Structure 1
Amino acid sequence: MTVTVAAGPTERALTRGVERLLALQHADGWWKGELETNVTIDAEDLFLRHYLGILDERQAAATARWIRSKQRDDGSWATFHGGPADLSTTVEAYLALRLAGDPVDADHMQRAAALVREAGGVESARVFTRMWLALLDLWAWEDVPVLPPEQMLLPDRAPLSIYAFGCWARQTIVALQVVTALRPARAAPFGLDELRAGPAPALVPRDAWDRAFLLLDRGLHRYERRPVRRLRARALRAAERWIVDRQEADGSWGGIQPPWVWSLVALRALGHPLEHPAIVAGLRGLDTFTIEDDLGRRVEACQSPVWDTALAVIALLDAGLSPRHPAVERAARWLVGREVHVRGDWAVRRPTLAPGGFPFEFANDNYPDIDDTAEIVIALRRAGQGDAAIDRGVAWMLGMQSKGGGWAAFDADNTSGLPARLPFCDFGEVTDPPSADVTAHVLEALAHEGLAERPEAKRGLAYLLGEQERDGSWFGRWGANHLYGTGAAVPALAAVGLSGHESVGRAIDWLAAVQNEDGGFGEDLRSYDDAAWRGRGASTASQTAWALLATHAARERGPVTGRAVRWLVETQRPDGGWDEPWYTGTGFPGAFYINYHLYRLIFPISALGRHTRDGGTP
């Protein structure tokens, strides 16, 4: 449907963006942009298929083409566009290319191997990478940390039960308990001597806790040589039952790649044939997460249709479309149909709370997402649909508040520091504590529902104010990084009536200080590891839009806003979108990042729509 074109450059940019977004809507009402990550996901798909004996030459060749396209001049691969070389990513990419038939003496392979050796060799790669090597008989299972399946038998509230971990780590760990106990392998047709640099570096304990967990790992290795048979058999049965029970309707586990692939490995290691219904469904589901085009074959680590659709509805309404617009109505109806009606793992901590809420993916009933639920509550209320689903979602969100007043993504009070101490946990976040960005979204939703005076909202507000950084920004757990956190926190504060609060003023001062000379905003993902990168980076459409959402909420109409709007208008493509190779989404801070391909369109539409709606300069 054509949108009426207005006269000014800002309105014309908004019109082009809206038309582009409308053209991308699926006939069923949803939107889904590609969720791009790094090449380890594609490499591990080949490892899985080799282990299962189903890797074909066409898949390998197409995947190799994609992996080669992401190699940099120094021979490395990174975890995000423009980021530093990453050893483990480079090792996995190299191994995948070897599986695909790339010769060792090819120039691109020699450059990669040299970089790996210089960075400490395969011996210095992360635990996850060495587990994949063990699956391909290129590393000894005895030399990776033990994850005993007996952990399944611990009480739910035990300090190191599986429920002490965040849902993504929990699902992966249960599968790896089976794998590390059974130690399956299918040998790769080559060795990796060219990647070795010497003995593996010894783990150096930082404190008494580290020493205790290293001693625990040594003890578990000794136990692993002669486990108690009946106890081990009981634990494996419990793990197998847990895995099968949590497979989603789309064949995934949690809708994310790590538990998905390792659950398939675990089921095969337990002796199930490829024809087992769970394995068939899992492989069929992976095919729906696979993209193949002229660039090559790649696998999405996750899919975000519910999240994308909620944000798209908000953006279209921000741009001035009526709630009765056919695209908005279709999307709202589809969102209502995604409500979760069953109890998932979150009920371990909230056993009396009624189900509600919404997932991130097409199918993830076990793990509805508090962040998604907050945005969907706003989207549906503004669209005028789904009153009952909204009410249940709000009740569920309120019940998922953690003790400190904040909200996390999937669980409540999942804050133990013990899981991260395990030698296995070197791959990113393993727990799900509250964060400023999720709390801000919940607080904004509660304000839209007229619930800002509720005790839960008051505690959430106190938490959010307490999380502000000394420089005036907020940390972004699920988006990059302080621009994302600030772009969420300021609108939330404005929604509860605090647009003039001194915290908002400090945030706007920070934004003014970090605005790029070109008028845009950008923040490199290295800000998660180095504070000097906060608010620094190449200007991107999504991050510039987050800054504009904050300035709009703060009623800042000066040069900061004007320059940012002009940057968006001047960098828009003729088709209504924006270029954005940089990753602005976060999976695990410091370890795993995401390029949401719709962020570059949805957030600018929201920002330009709010700006023009309230009388900004055309």
Structure 2
Amino acid sequence: MIEAIDDALRAAAGALLAEDHPGSWPNPRRPAISGAAGAVLALHTADRQRSAGLVAEGVAWLLAEQHEDGGWGTLQGLPSDFVATAMATAALHVAAPERAAEAVRRGRAWLADRGGVDGLDDAVMAQLTGLVLSVAGLHDADRVPRVPVEVLLLPAPLRRRLLSYLTPPFAALTFLQSRQRGHGRAARLLDRSARRALLPLLAAFHEQEGSVGSYGGDPWLSGLLCTALSRAGAAPELVDSSVRYLRMTAQPGGGWHLVHGVRRDRVEVTGMAFSVHALQRAGCGDRPGVLRARDWLRDCQQREPSEVYRSPAGAWTWTGRTGWPNGLETVLVLRVLANGPRDAESRRALRLGSAWLLAQQDRRGSWSTFVRDTLVPLDGPCPFITALAVELLHTGGLPLRHPRLRRALRWLRRHQAADGSFDARWHRGGVPATAAVAQSLTRVGLGADPIVRRARDWLLAAQLPDGSWSSGRGDPVGTPDETGHAVSALVACGQRAAAARGVRWLLAAQGADGRWEPGQTCVYVRDHVHYSDPLIAQGLATGALAAYRGSEA
């Protein structure tokens, strides 16, 4: 099998390094239904005359992507989901009511068959989909759970903990609610106060991303906020900026991506970090293309503090130098730098990034994604980030007896599920975080600790009969992403037999072009929407093969 692994690694590396890319590597993501729907709705609302051609192309693309069941998935070709179907149905009804009448009817039928907005047991999802559909006149906004706009009037530290990175989408819902719902006198006064408080916050988020009109590097969110502000007659300068961003990020044929970044050429920090780390593990770390990619990732570090997140300099984002600083991209890029040449710039970036990690540790000992001590479930605290942070800080010089690491380990022990698993915040199911804890703690010398043993045993029990791993929650279909996570962890834990079965599955799943087809492994909107990422899948699968090959040496 070793010869087959070597062949697979050469093909995987060749796929990643086939072209000379001085900056971000291309990531062949599928276009996004939600991105296109958000852009179509915004451009039709805020820039109807000038953007009529782009809107028409977006309408045609959405019509062509509707599934036979009447719904749409998050990305092109993915199974239908509620958020994407609600977004596409609303956008088509607003932008092309006659041309899209049949598609809208089928979309509404798909939603109704699943209980409609009123049947959602998640208030945030009901607010999002209900208010968007109400813009199109397809749902009564007064039946939507009320958006608690009074949160915006709380002291800034508490508001930040309650909203975190959700401030821009919360702003969109606030402005949509102010226009769509009925209000009594008291509610109108509260609504006006909340809107006044929001405008400087949105301006700060706008500036955080380079004042290019993007929010989260995301055409969907940028379009949603642009629509809400435009309909409310608020912040025309932010509306105009978002219109420019949406026009810039339109793809040939009428699509938009889920995550695009702040420039015409998409910026891919996350997938690159996974892939560059994998190539380092595969012995390709000194190849010119890998070194250039490492340097590019290093130079994406933010060298200024963030006003909106109240965090120091030293973090990374998924959209390059500008964007939302967060723990996930920071630990991923620090891992790349820790495994590469230690030139002066890299040492400086490592020091600054490690200091950022220490400053961002929660009081409870964990690490969240965006805001320290956040109260937002999807923000954190995250065992995946926490495990990698422990490994990075320990290998960077902190002893395990250091109070910071002792607190982190205590938090991990207290938050392991009864079955031995962990759940990450931005990856689906139990495999990614459980594998990260098992692998990172083994690497810092805790391989015999009960927390590692229980995590390892859960991974062994979650392996599917064909040798792969899925979400570990009854999903019968394995993915390269989750299998890559699990194989790397089991190699570190010395479980070679199970790892070998996973390796054989990865070898069989690799395409003739050296790539793997990604699974729906990354969380996008709470637990309702997941997306796939080709570069992440490539990095995880390649890294797993490299780990197994290295253990044979």
Where on the TM-score scale, by shorter chain, does this alignment land: which range? 0.7 to 0.9
The counterpart of 1:327, out of the listed 286, 289, 294, is 289
- Equivalent pair of 2:204/2:307 in contact (CA under 8 Å): no
Distance of 1:177 and 1:92 partners within structure 2: 17
Aligned residue runs from structure 1 range 255-294, under 5 A: 255-257=217-219, 259-269=221-231, 271=233, 276=237, 278-293=238-253
The DSSP-based 3-state class of the residue aligned with 2:502 is helix
Cα 1:25–1:464 change in 2 (3 A) is farther
Cα 1:83–1:452 change in 2 (3 A) is farther
| AA in 2 matched with 1:41 | G
Q: Report the CA distance between 1:407 and its aligned residue.
A: 0.4
Q: Report the CA distance between 1:76 and its aligned residue.
A: 2.8
Structure 2 equivalent of residue 177 of structure 1: 174
Deviations 1:147-179 (A, max 9, x none): 576654432245xx3x13343312222344344
Structure 1 equivalent of residue 479 of structure 2: 540
- Equivalent pair of 2:37/2:220 in contact (CA under 8 Å): no
Deviations 1:471-503 (A, max 9, x none): 222212211221111221111111211123333
1:568 aligned onto 2:506: yes
1:376 aligned onto 2:300: no
Distance of 2:501 and 2:427 partners within structure 1: 23
The counterpart of 2:529, out of the listed 589, 592, 608, is 592
Deviations 1:385-409 (A, max 9, x none): 4111111110111111112111010
Cα 1:89–1:329 change in 2 (3 A) is closer
Structure 1 equivalent of residue 419 of structure 2: 471
The DSSP-based 3-state class of the residue aligned with 1:54 is coil
Of 443-452 and 60-69, more deviation after overlay is shown by: 60-69
Give the gaps of 5 or more residues in structure 2: 121-125, 262-266
Cα 1:518–1:357 change in 2 (3 A) is same
Structure 2 equivalent of residue 422 of structure 1: none
Distance of 1:318 and 1:300 partners within structure 2: 30
Structure 2 equivalent of residue 485 of structure 1: 433
Distance of 1:110 and 1:272 partners within structure 2: 32
In the alignment of these two chains, the number of paired residues is 534
Structure 2 equivalent of residue 41 of structure 1: 35
Distance of 1:259 and 1:516 partners within structure 2: 36
- Equivalent pair of 2:33/2:76 in contact (CA under 8 Å): no
Structure 1 equivalent of residue 270 of structure 2: 307
Cα 1:467–1:272 change in 2 (3 A) is closer
Cα 1:392–1:551 change in 2 (3 A) is same
Distance of 1:80 and 1:516 partners within structure 2: 26
| AA in 1 matched with 2:381 | P
The DSSP-based 3-state class of the residue aligned with 2:512 is coil
Aligned residue runs from structure 1 range 9-408, under 5 A: 9-23=4-18, 26-28=21-23, 30-35=24-29, 39-54=33-48, 56=51, 58-68=53-63, 70-78=65-73, 86-98=81-93, 99-100=95-96, 103=99, 106=102, 110-121=105-116, 124=119, 126-139=126-139, 144-145=144-145, 147=147, 151-158=151-158, 161=159, 163-181=160-178, 183=179, 221-225=184-188, 227=189, 232=192, 236-247=195-206, 248-249=209-210, 250-257=212-219, 259-269=221-231, 271=233, 276=237, 278-293=238-253, 297-301=255-259, 303=261, 305-322=268-285, 324-345=286-307, 348=310, 354-365=312-323, 367-384=324-341, 385=343, 386-408=346-368
The DSSP-based 3-state class of the residue aligned with 1:299 is coil
| AA in 1 matched with 2:242 | G
Cα 1:32–1:501 change in 2 (3 A) is farther
Distance of 1:339 and 1:243 partners within structure 2: 23
| AA in 2 matched with 1:168 | Y
**TM-score if structure 1 supplies the norm length?**
0.77
- Equivalent pair of 2:327/2:368 in contact (CA under 8 Å): yes
Aligned residue runs from structure 1 range 506-585, under 5 A: 506-523=454-471, 534=473, 536-558=475-497, 560-580=498-518, 582-585=519-522
Distance of 2:430 and 2:287 partners within structure 1: 35
| AA in 2 matched with 1:378 | R
Distance of 2:247 and 2:331 partners within structure 1: 30
Deviations 1:16-46 (A, max 9, x none): 0011011266322x22425558623322221
Distance of 1:290 and 1:24 partners within structure 2: 24
The DSSP-based 3-state class of the residue aligned with 1:534 is coil
Structure 2 equivalent of residue 207 of structure 1: none
- Equivalent pair of 1:17/1:576 in contact (CA under 8 Å): yes
| RMSD, aligned CA | 3.3
| AA in 2 matched with 1:413 | D
- Equivalent pair of 1:35/1:301 in contact (CA under 8 Å): no
Deviations 1:108-159 (A, max 9, x none): 655444333333456557221222233345556555455576654432245x
- Equivalent pair of 2:205/2:308 in contact (CA under 8 Å): no
- Equivalent pair of 2:383/2:422 in contact (CA under 8 Å): yes
- Equivalent pair of 2:9/2:546 in contact (CA under 8 Å): yes
- Equivalent pair of 2:204/2:308 in contact (CA under 8 Å): no
Cα 1:603–1:65 change in 2 (3 A) is farther
Identity %: 26
- Equivalent pair of 1:586/1:592 in contact (CA under 8 Å): yes
- Equivalent pair of 1:21/1:602 in contact (CA under 8 Å): no
| AA in 2 matched with 1:610 | A
**TM-score if structure 2 supplies the norm length?**
0.86
After TM superposition, where is structure 1 displaced by more than 6 Å over at least 4 residues in a row?
80-84
Cα 1:270–1:70 change in 2 (3 A) is closer
Q: Report the CA distance between 1:235 and its aligned residue.
A: 5.3
| AA in 2 matched with 1:565 | V
- Equivalent pair of 1:541/1:568 in contact (CA under 8 Å): yes
Distance of 1:379 and 1:556 partners within structure 2: 25
Q: Report the CA distance between 1:556 and its aligned residue.
A: 1.6
Cα 1:557–1:140 change in 2 (3 A) is closer
Cα 1:287–1:401 change in 2 (3 A) is same
Cα 1:380–1:223 change in 2 (3 A) is same
Q: Which has the larger radius of gyration?
A: 1
Distance of 2:356 and 2:235 partners within structure 1: 40
Of 478-487 and 147-156, more deviation after overlay is shown by: 147-156
Structure 1 equivalent of residue 391 of structure 2: 444
Distance of 2:435 and 2:63 partners within structure 1: 36
| AA in 1 matched with 2:477 | A
Of 476-485 and 17-26, more deviation after overlay is shown by: 17-26
The DSSP-based 3-state class of the residue aligned with 1:441 is helix
- Equivalent pair of 1:59/1:297 in contact (CA under 8 Å): no
The DSSP-based 3-state class of the residue aligned with 2:531 is strand
